[in-house]
Amino acid sequence: SQQGEEDPQALSIQEGENATMNCSYKTSINNLQWYRQNSGRGLVHLILIRSNEREKHSGRLRVTLDTSKKSSSLLITASRAADTASYFCATDEGSGAQKLVFGQGTRLTINP
């Protein structure tokens, strides 16, 4: 199975609610990133958390990283219809510029 597996695969919530998506990985990492992708469009970088960080915030986004459990979570607070998209985690296994290994993604639907 792949590095960076995501849970749940699909999530549907009401506007204004919080959305939490989880990601697990298998190997040691240098950092973990979260990306957003609108249907069939490009990958938009949301946030990067380094292996020595435990939590990071950016606007309505909160990312946590637990290297002992090899897992990360992305929380989107006060969700909006425009947050509807697929969200992927991606891990970078080495130092310096390295390929990214993506998880399968969570399809998030925000219902107005």
What are the residues binding another protein (CB under 8 A)? 2, 4, 31, 33, 35, 40-45, 48, 88, 90, 92, 96-105
Tell me how far, at minimum, the Cβ of 23 lies from another protein, in Å.
11
- Judged by CB, which is closer to another protein: 7, or 15? 7
Contacts of 77 (CB under 8 A, 6+ apart): 18, 60, 62
Burial class (CB in 10 A: 0-12, 13-18, 19+), 25: buried
- Judged by CB, which is closer to another protein: 15, or 56? 56
- Judged by CB, which is closer to another protein: 30, or 67? 30
